[in-house]
Amino acid sequence: MITEAVQQLAGLFSRRFFFNALLPTFIFATLTASTVVLANSSAASLSDYWAGGDLATRLLSVFAYVLIVYFLAAGVSNQWRNIVRLYEGYPLKRLAHFTGRPAPGERWHQSRQERLLSDEHGDEMRAYYRYPHESFSTELLPTRLGNILLAGERYADVRYGIDTIYFWPRLYPLLPATLQADLEEAVIQYQFPLVTSFLAAISTVIAGCALVGTSGSASAFLSVVLVGSGLAYGAYLSSLPSAIELAELQRAAFDLHRGLLLSAWPTVADVRDEKDAFAAIKGFVVFGAAPSWHRPQAAYLRRHTTQGDA
């Protein structure tokens, strides 16, 4: 019954929003709110307060809480990219750039890549999954997640001279539906632990401050910090296998389907005729000029009619 209820609720939203924003936000918002409230009052007094309220007040309170959680989840979903980049280590890399020194962990990953590619202690398969090609060693990031995703992003550049940053948004709509579904599932699987880790860290800070501000017991504060920190770090580690799968799917997409980009790209002649035709059409629509796009349009149609007959 619980499983069916969760599936029905997930159907109201996109799977990515439900699992990577709404569900973790609800869990950690509830845990954090419970810790803050219990730090300021007893469970018995809360129970008496809830029992003493009328039905309308209870329903209004529940509705208000659900609404708050929804808006918090919407905020989390708007920050998916920034949360991922935070765990990739880009803020550390950017800060290190201003100081003129390598980011913490950057040199460690550079030496580890060198070790994995060495003849004596080498493990080329592990290096393949966890680091980009050695020609990008100066771009290595301070975290394991960042380098795993960077390995997937730089693969097409090394193998085929394709800049993934620019061409991935153009290739993705052309991919088979099954591969798109696999990629979406991989994104959900690696982002969910990252969102969980991020919210666990935020909840730990808020709950810890609440306990300190109310002179809570040292054991309660220590428990919150240890459990919250352990959960945040453990969730981060659990995202790595899914990130490896996502990066490998991206590599496979370029290996098997990069030709779709070339076949979908217009010819030079098409682009020239289209520019001339649309410029003339704009003049007709916006400025009331005489219609004059017949030549480039006819050339474009004639070319494609000939290709279709061939």
pLDDT at 221: 86
The whole-angstrom separation of Cα 37 and Cα 25 is: 18
How many other C-beta atoms lie within 10 A of the C-beta of residue 70? 15
The whole-angstrom separation of Cα 135 and Cα 286 is: 51
- 260 backbone φψ class: left, alpha, beta (φ>0; ψ -120 to 50): alpha
Per-residue pLDDT of the chain (310 residues; tens, 9 = 90+): 445 544 444 455 688 899 899 999 999 999 998 888 777 765 556 666 666 667 787 788 889 999 999 999 999 999 999 999 999 999 999 988 888 888 899 999 999 999 999 877 778 999 999 999 999 988 999 999 999 999 999 999 999 999 999 999 999 999 999 999 999 999 999 999 999 999 999 999 998 888 887 766 788 889 899 999 999 999 999 999 999 999 999 999 999 999 999 999 988 999 999 999 999 999 999 999 999 999 999 999 998 886 655 5
DSSP string, 188-228: HHHHHHHHHHHHHHHHHHHHHHHHHHTT--HHHHHHHHHHH
**27 CB contacts (<8 Å, ≥6 apart)?**
199
The CB-side HSE value for 300 (13 A sphere, CA atoms) comes to 17
pLDDT at 1: 45
The whole-angstrom separation of Cα 155 and Cα 149 is: 10
How many other C-beta atoms lie within 10 A of the C-beta of residue 169? 9
Chain length of the chain: 310
Give residue limits of the domains in the chain.
Answer: 13-86+172-263, 266-309
pLDDT at 272: 94
pLDDT at 158: 94
